[in-house]
Amino acid sequence: MKNLKIAILNDYPFDVGISNYIYNIYLNLKKHGVNVDFYQFALDYENNHKYLQEVKIIKGINFRTKYSLQLNQILGINYRWLKKLNSTYDIIITSNPTLNKVSKYFDNVIGVGLDLYYLFGKSNSILYGKYIKSQYKLFKNFKFIICDSEYTKKDFIRYLGIDDKRIKTVYPSINTEIFHPGDRSFRKSLKINEGDILLLNVAYDSPNKNIRSVLNLLYKLPENFKLIRVGRNVTSLNTIKELKLENRVYLFENLESNKLGDIYRSSDFFIFPSLFEGFGIPVAEAMASGLPVIVSNRTSLPEVVGDAGLIFDPYDIEGMKNAILELSESEIKYNIIKNKSIERAKNFSAEKQFKSLENILENFI
């Protein structure tokens, strides 16, 4: 496989799971000596991607509007430039449906399919949602497809009619040099009292992330429970004010990985009552960091946590509250769940991911 030359294409900013997943694949292949290049279509690169290694920036049209991300993905990509790749690389890997048009030009493309959210979920932009649905149909053009979970793989087979011989699951890899149990000194910078208990949620507050349930849960818990929210906030700010939680919520976004790792280690519980996930990378990061995880019973999340997580209906606030209080009052029970989390996260190692990739790429050509 080291004789292959591979290009990975991405057009999403790096504060979302799509980019996290595909960039870690790039790092994993590179670590194992594979000749691979990562092409990032410029989307406010200077502000979001300073910490990335050796990324090749491709500039197209760069719209600056409320819907700049969507417009850049639909209209800004230079497809004439893309056509030059075919003579340079043995394999081209695209990160998401907005790049599916590449499959029209080449037959050496592997598509990454992380979920089919826009078939079922709400979009902040109706037109963008319709566009993504149209791009889902192009998955049939790919010679091969990589999915991030067995749940997503089954959706692709069921709803897009993909032959199960052309699609495989490659789980995300979690960097345990960053996400691991350990020092909790970040609490001091937040001036957290010794008796305070920190909940953590890492997600953009799109409708499927169900941040309302996270905030309702915090509202129901005693005053010494606080919440760290990592991710862009649009609608959740209004909910925080509505529930008068301003003094109990800490907001962060666009964090570098090392600081995010510090926040995981300094928290006590990870809360993720999402309504729809293709995988749920923050859940695996939380488990690797030794946190008990409370997740919803929807889509891929039961597959990710196995028997290591506490699984609830995403609107069962009372059930989640009681589980958190029970673990908070019993160090023995807390540590049992914590150790299960750490063990479960080992399923998402870089070595296991590389073995899956190696099998796919060697049989692709």
- What are the tens digits of pLDDT across the range 330-350? 999 999 999 999 999 999 999
Largest CA distance in the chain: 62
Output the average pLDDT for the chain: 89
Residue 49 or residue 194, greater confidence: 194
Of all helices (H) and strands (E), which one includes residue 94? strand 91-94
Token pair of 62, please? 């760069």
d(CA 99, CA 9): 8
The residue behind tokens 């760290």 is 228
Question: What letter does residue 84 receive in the DSSP assignment?
Answer: G
| pLDDT 10s digits, 257-288 | 899 999 999 999 999 999 999 999 999 999 99
The model's confidence at residue 72, banded by pLDDT at 50, 70 and 90, is low
Predicted confidence at residue 106, as pLDDT, reads: 84
- What is the rounded average pLDDT of the residues 209-222? 98
DSSP, collapsed to helix, strand or coil, labels residue 291 as coil
> Which alpha helices (DSSP H) does 57-201 contain, by range?
68-75, 79-83, 102-105, 117-120, 126-136, 150-160, 186-189
CB atoms within 10 A of CB 185: 10
DSSP, collapsed to helix, strand or coil, labels residue 37 as strand
Query: What does 318-332 look like in DSSP terms, one character per residue?
Result: HHHHHHHHHHHT-HH
The proportion of the chain whose per-residue pLDDT surpasses 70, expressed as a percent, equals 87
- What is the rounded average pLDDT of the residues 211-238? 95
The pair phi, psi for residue 67, each rounded to 5°, is -110, 40
Predicted confidence at residue 67, as pLDDT, reads: 47
Edge-first strand listing for the sheet containing 269-272: 249-252, 225-230, 197-202, 269-272, 293-296, 310-312
Q: Closest Cα to residue 14, out of 3, 22, 2?
A: 22
Contact between residue 269 and residue 292 where contact means Cβ atoms under 8 Å apart: yes
- What is the rounded average pLDDT of the residues 234-239? 90
Greatest mean pLDDT among 46-55, 117-126, 219-228 lies in: 219-228
d(CA 349, CA 35): 21
The residue behind tokens 């998955």 is 139
| pLDDT 10s digits, 158-213 | 999 999 999 999 999 999 999 999 999 899 998 888 899 999 999 988 889 999 99
Give me the helix-helix angle, 211-220 and 317-328, nearest 10°: 50
Task: Tell which phi-psi region holds residue 231, choosing left (phi > 0), alpha (psi between -120 and 50) or beta.
Answer: left
Predicted confidence at residue 64, as pLDDT, reads: 41
Sorted by where each starts, the structural domains of the chain and their CATH numbers stand as 5-173+349-364 (3.40.50.2000), 186-347 (3.40.50.2000)
What residues are paired with 311 via a beta bridge?
A: 295
| pLDDT 10s digits, 352-361 | 999 999 999 9
Residue 48 has pLDDT above 60, yes or no: no
Residue 64 or residue 147, greater confidence: 147
Contact between residue 146 and residue 113 where contact means Cβ atoms under 8 Å apart: yes
What residues are paired with 258 via a beta bridge?
A: none
Residue 363 has pLDDT above 70, yes or no: yes
Q: What are the DSSP E strand ranges found in 148-275?
A: 167-169, 197-202, 225-230, 249-252, 269-272
- What is the rounded average pLDDT of the residues 105-123? 88
State the Cα angle at 170 between 82 and 292, rounded to 5°. 125
Predicted confidence at residue 126, as pLDDT, reads: 80
pTM over 0.85: yes
